């Protein structure tokens, strides 16, 4: 979607409306954005990648390498978007690795789990290697530096998550919302933020415009994570309770308002025999506090900051689509 913004930087005429309680649903927002991009997300599809038409286009673009044809700028934007999604998918695959040490015999054959882990590592590494190869082909040192640093941020963020989850007291981590933001930036927001900035660098925009793109990506991603963390507490579902992380934003904020000692007491009251957590009971206690409403406010705050960054770009279909994405992840019933 940044392709429509690449050729025109600077302060846009008119402003974007601040977040409202209503707006198009997520599926509609994604569909409209895909029309602007020109193809579905998920780094195209295998059918598209294997099509003769795309192969012919790729062949013609290769002939332009080394020239100054303007078509190359558009091709490199699209390539950067695919690189970003390849990196994101690679880390999602790596996150699927199962901790064999925590498994019991009733969970299934351990050999199958070990084989699955090996395939996850190899598949993730394959995607990451392809992304790095394509990144080098962009032939832009600053873009390589930005995306490489984002990969480093992802590794650091995921390493922190895994090291904490292996601790016995991980259910009662004493982290504040500022620490939560730092962790989410590393493991979720850095890649999108730096990819948005890299897109503006490829289009040779100023440092100020690049920073606005970075700010949009960062704050939109933060809003998306907050929206995801809030779902177990606001989504109307069946009698089954949605599972949730005790290090998610509403829980962290709830702990800050409640105080450390009272929070530990609530956890102990929700633990039954064998230290099995009664998430339904704990969920009701969190919903009765201020953590959920504070998380909603924080989500909308980041959404407004993302919209403020977009105002630096001229009005266009792409800018409207990016704004709709923000509205979709900050809309609550």
Spatial distance between the Cα atoms of 226 and 116, rounded to a whole number of angstroms: 31
Cβ–Cβ < 8 Å for 222, 181: yes
Judged against a pLDDT cut of 90, whether residue 147 lies above it is answered with: yes
8 A C-beta contact, residue 256 and residue 175: no
Give the closest residue to 176 by CA, choosing from 293, 294, 271: 294
Instruction: State residue 45's pLDDT score.
Output: 44
pLDDT of residue 60: 46
pLDDT in the model for residue 64 = 46
Which one has a higher pLDDT value, 36 or 136?
A: 136
Q: Which of 79-88, 98-107, 205-214, 306-315 shows the lowest per-residue confidence on average (mean pLDDT)?
A: 98-107
Instruction: Tell which wins on pLDDT, 241 or 313.
Output: 313
Could you tell me how far CA 284 lies from the centroid of its own chain? Answer: 28
Q: Which residue has the higher pLDDT, 283 or 49?
A: 283
Residue 252: pLDDT over 80: yes
185 or 121, higher pLDDT: 185
162 versus 135: the higher-pLDDT residue is 135
d(CA 306, CA 29): 16
In this structure, what token pair is assigned to residue 238?
A: 């069946």
Rounded to an integer, what distance in angstroms lies between the CA atom of residue 81 and that of residue 131?
Answer: 10
Place of tokens 């201020």: 290
Q: How far is CA 59 from the centre of its chain?
A: 32
How high does pLDDT run on average in the chain? 78
**Closest Cα partner for 217 from 182, 250, 193?**
193
Look at residue 173 in the predicted model and tell me its pLDDT: 63
Tell me how far apart the alpha carbons of residues 145 and 68 are, in angstroms, rounded to a whole number.
23
Range scoring the smallest mean pLDDT among 84-98, 147-161, 304-318, 319-333: 84-98
Taking residues 28-53, report their average pLDDT: 58
State how far the alpha carbon of 261 is from the alpha carbons of 173, 174, 267, in Å.
12, 11, 10
Q: What local confidence, expressed as pLDDT, does residue 1 receive?
A: 64
Mean pLDDT of 1-27: 56
Residues 241, 14: Cα–Cα separation, whole Å: 44
CA terminus-to-terminus distance, the chain? 28
In angstroms, the CA 302 to CA 187 distance is: 17
What's the CA gap between 73 and 70, in Å, rounded?
6
- Residue 70's pLDDT band (cuts 50, 70, 90): low
Taking residues 263-270, what's their average pLDDT? 88
Which range, of 176-190, 240-254, 290-304, 313-327, averages the lowest pLDDT?
A: 240-254
The structure tokens listed for 166 are 């292996």
Whether residue 24 contacts residue 328, with contact meaning beta carbons closer than 8 Å, is answered with yes
Task: Please name which of 21, 158, 37 lies closest in space to residue 88, comparing C-alpha atoms.
Answer: 158
């Amino acid at each position: 979607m940044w392709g429509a913004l690449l050729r025109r930087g600077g302060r846009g005429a008119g402003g974007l409306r601040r977040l409202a309680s209503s707006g198009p649903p997520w599926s509609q927002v994604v569909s409209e954005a895909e029309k602007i991009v020109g193809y579905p997300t998920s780094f195209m599809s295998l059918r598209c990648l294997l099509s003769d038409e795309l192969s012919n286009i790729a062949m013609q673009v290769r002939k332009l390498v080394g020239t100054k044809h303007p078509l190359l700028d558009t091709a490199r934007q699209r390539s950067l978007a695919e690189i970003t999604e390849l990196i994101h998918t690679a880390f999602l695959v790596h996150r699927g690795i199962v901790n064999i040490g925590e498994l019991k015999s009733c969970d299934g054959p351990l050999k199958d789990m070990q084989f699955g882990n090996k395939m996850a590592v190899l598949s993730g590494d394959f995607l990451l290697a392809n992304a790095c190869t394509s990144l080098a082909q962009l032939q832009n040192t600053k873009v390589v530096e930005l995306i490489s640093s984002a990969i480093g941020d992802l590794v650091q963020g995921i390493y922190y998550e895994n090291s904490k989850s292996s601790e016995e007291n991980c259910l009662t981590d004493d982290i504040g919302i500022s620490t939560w933001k730092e962790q989410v930036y590393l493991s979720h927001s850095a890649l999108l933020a730096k990819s948005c900035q890299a897109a503006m660098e490829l289009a040779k925009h100023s440092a100020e415009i690049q920073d606005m793109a970075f700010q949009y990506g960062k704050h939109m991603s933060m809003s998306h994570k907050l929206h995801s963390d809030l779902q177990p507490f606001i989504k109307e579902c069946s009698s089954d309770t949605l599972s949730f992380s005790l290090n998610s934003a509403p829980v962290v904020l709830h702990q800050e308002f409640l105080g450390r000692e009272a929070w530990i007491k609530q956890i102990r009251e929700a633990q039954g025999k064998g230290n099995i957590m009664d998430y339904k009971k704990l969920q009701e206690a969190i919903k009765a506090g201020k953590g959920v409403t504070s998380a909603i406010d924080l989500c909308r705050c980041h959404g407004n900051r993302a919209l403020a960054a977009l105002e630096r770009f001229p009005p266009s279909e792409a800018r409207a689509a990016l704004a709709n994405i923000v509205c979709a992840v900050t809309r609550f019933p």
